[in-house]
Chains A and B, each alone.
Chain A
Amino acid sequence: MLLATAQFSFGQDLLSLLNDENAEPKVVSSLFKDSRVVNAQSSKQSSKGEFKFLIQHRFGTLNSGFYNLWGLDNSQVRMGLDYGVSDRIAVSVGRSSTNKQYDASVKGKLLNQSDKSPVVLSVFSALFLAHPSESLRQQADYEFLNQLSFANQLIIARKFSSKFSAIVLPTHVHLNTFAFGTSADPLFLGLGGRYKLSKRITVNGEYFYALSEMPLTHQNMLSLGFDIETGGHVFSLHLSNSRGMNEHVFLTQTSGDFFEGDIYFGFNISRVFEW
């Protein structure tokens, strides 16, 4: 026993020689499990050389009845591929069945959360193109540019504890096609967060408040969900009053009332590849 104590103290004395007074700033990582909170972007992005394939499903509303199996008969899908050009720049392309839409986006990380910065600061910018139908293209007033929409976003996120992270998302949308009397450049403020229930399961939430005047049917998006990470895959199960998976859709075309049961069940599966 004495010997063990002696051994212990020997080494312990020496440990103090190893502590580095010029340690590098410590970067806080793993704020979110996936690159999306639910629908909205999170502070996570693909790191250098990492590919991620993402399949997102959105079913019909839960209040659509037994006949539609509470929405399960009716699904919309987005398939997307993300790629990390560097640890700070990630690009993404995707195609949604909603409005037969193509999207391309870039996410750039300006600051990591560390001893020097209290938050992660990133910028996100996206372009959306609705594939025009043959009949639409025959119309006299058809213009290709009218099929385009854009979104620009600041991503400000902070990990408050190993379990809780919060995110603020000031967002600008530009619509080339918009309803009379509404803005072509509406502004929104998004708030979101995640809480870790266990090492691999988190509960996520997000809400976007419209700062600009919106059509009477407009509802602010509210989503709640779970992320389940299994090492390489993330499964995300969630409920939202929006069915859109792209910023301009879930911000300007949400008309469901969450508290009236206009809730869409959805799930995402993401898989990371690297070589």
Chain B
Amino acid sequence: MRLILVCILFSSHIFAQQYLSKEGDVSFFSEAPIENIEAVNNKATGVIDLRTGGFAFQIMIEDFVFPNSLMQEHFNESYMESEKFPNSTFTGVISDVSAIDLSKEQSIDVSGNFLLHGINRQMNMTATLSLKDEKLNISSQFDIVLDDFNIDIPKIMMYKIAEVINVNIEMNLQKLSNE
């Protein structure tokens, strides 16, 4: 943390207005007839630059925790192939960054490149942004179609997995530097 802070203070980012978090929550939910599956990742990282509107989010796939350890193993080994594709990232820009008014909670549109299971896709999402106690809170819900990212659901599986997964993100980012 401190190292990053120092780097930023002495780099070209000095005029940036960046917010960063290394302990965001990302959870997903798969609703299917036999079994609902839910997993949480509390180590999501993210950075938002409110001057340029640029942002980057990253999670390590192996940091997802399931209620059942066998599911977690299969998630990593058979579905996400997390040895081959260890992380997922979403990088892009906030559509109209100049219109952001941090004095109130608001909805923003973002677009960018979503990397999952080694597949890159352009995605547009909406998120909710607010500033509370010097921390930038961002939350978003969106759906992922497994087929879009080449994640197979084999027919012989004993438990069923939904073809569309609901993802929930909640993150409190701290300001890195002052203008």
- Interface set of A (CB-CB < 8 Å, partner B): 4, 6-8, 10-15, 17-21, 26, 29-30, 47-48, 50, 162, 199-200, 229-233, 272, 274
Contacts and interface: CB of A to CB of B under 8 A. Distances in A.
Given A29-B76, A162-B84, A230-B158, A18 B93 contact: no
Contacts of A30: 73, 76-77
Contact of B54 (A14, A19, A230): A14
A229 B112 CA distance: 37
Contacts of B54: 10-11, 13-14
Contact of B47 (A4, A17, A272): A17
B112 A15 contact: no
Most B-side CB within 10 Å, residue of A4, A8, A11, A272 = A11
Interface string B75-88: 01110010110000
Contacts of A6: 93
B91 A12 contact: yes
B142 interface: no
Contacts of B89: 11, 15
Contacts of B69: 47-48, 50, 274
B157 A231 contact: yes
A248 B67 CA distance: 37
A230 B157 contact: yes
B46 A18 contact: yes
Given A7-B112, A231-B157, A231-B159, A15 B56 contact: yes
Interface string B142-166: 0000000000101011110000000
Given A6-B93, A11-B55, 18 more contacts: A7-B91, A7-B111, A8-B113, A10-B52, A11-B56, A11-B112, A14-B49, A14-B56, A18-B20, A18-B46, A29-B76, A29-B77, A162-B83, A199-B81, A230-B154, A230-B158, A231-B78, A232-B159
Contacts of B91: 7-8, 10-12, 14-15
B41 to A, nearest CB: 14
A199 B78 contact: yes
Contacts of B57: 18
A212 to B, nearest CB: 37
A25 B71 CA distance: 22
B4 A17 contact: yes
Nearest to A15: B56
B100 to A, nearest CB: 16
Most B-side CB within 10 Å, residue of A4, A18, A47 = A18
A18 B45 contact: yes
